Amino acid sequence: MLKKAVEEILVRQIEREAYSSNLYLSMASWAETNGLGGVSEWMYAQAEEEKIHLLKFMKYVNERGGKAVIPAVAQPPADFENVKDLYEKTLEHEQFVTESINEIVAVCLEEKDFTTHNWIQWFVTEQIEEEASVSGIIDKLKLLDGHNLYMFDRDVAGMRGSVPGSQQ
């Protein structure tokens, strides 16, 4: 049985995962309408992954005696300056999600909910991989300095999770 504080922070995370999925859908649409098919493919895949995360949180909350609540989700931004801006905003968002996951860990420890603490460790590892993946893409964009985006766009869809030491 989930303690109330743990249930509340997990339900909050459901909303954050839903927003994440919508944010990446918005980014995918921006990329697609700007002729960046590879970037849009990468973002569509990210959006789907966030939806899976949302479902994991929902199922866990319900299985542990809580009640997953489906939230209203704020509209994400629809326009971005360029591809580098898009991925920098992606990294900022992933860092926000990492902090949110860390807050869940802290509540689990405060409440002595070691079952949820153990369960949430998958997300801790996932966030390390997410941040490393996006940082690697930003590094590649810095090398390009705005040039030869054609080749970058062609290759980026295959970069999901392709970080040295990645466990995907």
Query: Which residues, at least 6 apart from 55, have a Cβ–Cβ distance to it below 8 Å?
Result: none
For residue 94, say whether it is annotated as part of any ligand binding site.
Answer: yes
Whole-number Å distance between alpha carbons of 143 and 145: 6
For residue 50, say whether it is annotated as part of any ligand binding site.
Answer: yes
For residue 15, say whether it is annotated as part of any ligand binding site.
Answer: no
For residue 127, say whether it is annotated as part of any ligand binding site.
Answer: yes
For residue 17, say whether it is annotated as part of any ligand binding site.
Answer: yes
Identify the sign of the CA torsion 136, 137, 138, 140: positive
Cβ–Cβ under 8 Å, residues 52 and 168:
no
Q: What angle do CA 51, 53, 57 make, to 5 degrees?
A: 115
Binding site per annotation, positions for Fe cation: 17, 50, 53, 94, 127
